[in-house]
Amino acid sequence: MDYRDLFDLSGRRAVVVGAGSGIGEACAEGLAAFGAEVICADLDAGAAAGTARSIASAGGVASEYRLDLGDADAVRRAVAELGAPDVLLVTPAVNVRKRVLELSDEEFDKVVGLNLRGSFRILRDFGRVMAERGSGSLIAFSSIRAQVVEPGQGVYAATKAGVLQLVKVLSAELGPRGVRANVIAPGVVETPLTAPIRQDAAWYEAYRAKTSLGRWAQPSEMVGAAVFLASDAGSYVTGSYLVVDGGWLAADGRFEPPA
């Protein structure tokens, strides 16, 4: 065996949902760099097209696809039109930063509708055709908020914990049919979703100081985990919660005792 081939994705097709920006954009470019043909799916068709052009300009193969995870018919149509990819990677999420007692039913439904129901819908529908074929890698992005929370993150954290458990169940149900299912859990990443935090210097600094590495992540730093789980390097990995958080969960605060 040539172990250098473990991460090679040549001849494989990946659907990356949320490829128009942030982590999804970086993962689409990363999978393409390792040889995958990438379908860049996003609600914003223009942003998806931009990522596809970026991949093509670097010598990769990519196309754009407009996809609304909130539309069940659109998801079914995507499966019918795109068929069973070798890799499905799902990143989109939304947050409403309010304390639980202040959340409206509509705000709750907004976050659950995309983060949990949308993820369920696309993982189910693409997972079904992957299982029928007998192979594939499902990769969903959760968060460290699936394990640790803070005020104002209640419904977001609940959805991210839900995604984690959903993927674990899929790994158990689809493993015998040749499909792996895993979760990547980022910590604090500089993306459009975290822009409001980065505009508050004290908030940004508090998050920076909480990590063991002493800094926020860039979207590109999620690519290694995605390529690992998509490729043969992760062929015996399923049902995992792969944390990429700069040490956030490992350390209980950043005070360093004298001893």
130-149 pLDDT, tens digit per residue, is 999 999 999 999 999 999 99
Q: What is the rounded end-to-end Cα distance, in angstroms, of the chain? A: 48
Task: With respect to residue 1, please indicate whether it lies within any of the assigned structural domains.
Answer: no
Task: With respect to residue 2, please indicate whether it lies within any of the assigned structural domains.
Answer: no
Asked if pLDDT for residue 167 goes beyond 70, the answer is yes
DSSP state of 134: T
Task: With respect to residue 252, please indicate whether it lies within any of the assigned structural domains.
Answer: no
Specify whether the CB–CB gap between 182 and 240 falls below 8 A.
Answer: yes
Task: With respect to residue 117, please indicate whether it lies within any of the assigned structural domains.
Answer: yes
Task: With respect to residue 253, please indicate whether it lies within any of the assigned structural domains.
Answer: no
Dihedral Cα 168, 169, 175, 178, nearest 10 deg: -90
pLDDT tens digits for 204-258? 999 999 999 999 999 999 999 999 999 999 999 999 999 999 999 998 876 666 6
CA distances from 51 to 28, 58, 121, 155 (A): 8, 11, 24, 30
Residue ranges of alpha helices (H) inside the chain are 22-33, 45-57, 72-82, 105-112, 119-133, 154-174, 195-198, 201-210, 223-230
pLDDT tier at 1, thresholds 50, 70, 90: confident
Number of domains in the chain: 1
| Residue 36: burial class (beta carbons within 10 Å; 0-12, 13-18, 19+) | buried
Question: 259 or 91: which carries more pLDDT confidence?
Answer: 91
Task: With respect to residue 186, please indicate whether it lies within any of the assigned structural domains.
Answer: yes
Task: With respect to residue 249, please indicate whether it lies within any of the assigned structural domains.
Answer: no
* Among candidate residues 229, 234, 196, 241, the one with its CA nearest the CA of residue 89: 229
Range of the domain at 93: 8-244
Task: With respect to residue 254, please indicate whether it lies within any of the assigned structural domains.
Answer: no
* Among candidate residues 56, 31, 54, 51, the one with its CA nearest the CA of residue 40: 51
pLDDT tier at 195, thresholds 50, 70, 90: confident
pLDDT tier at 77, thresholds 50, 70, 90: very high
pLDDT of residue 252: 80
Instruction: Return the active site residues.
Output: 156
pLDDT of residue 196: 87
CATH code of the domain covering residue 220 = 3.40.50.720
pLDDT of residue 13: 98
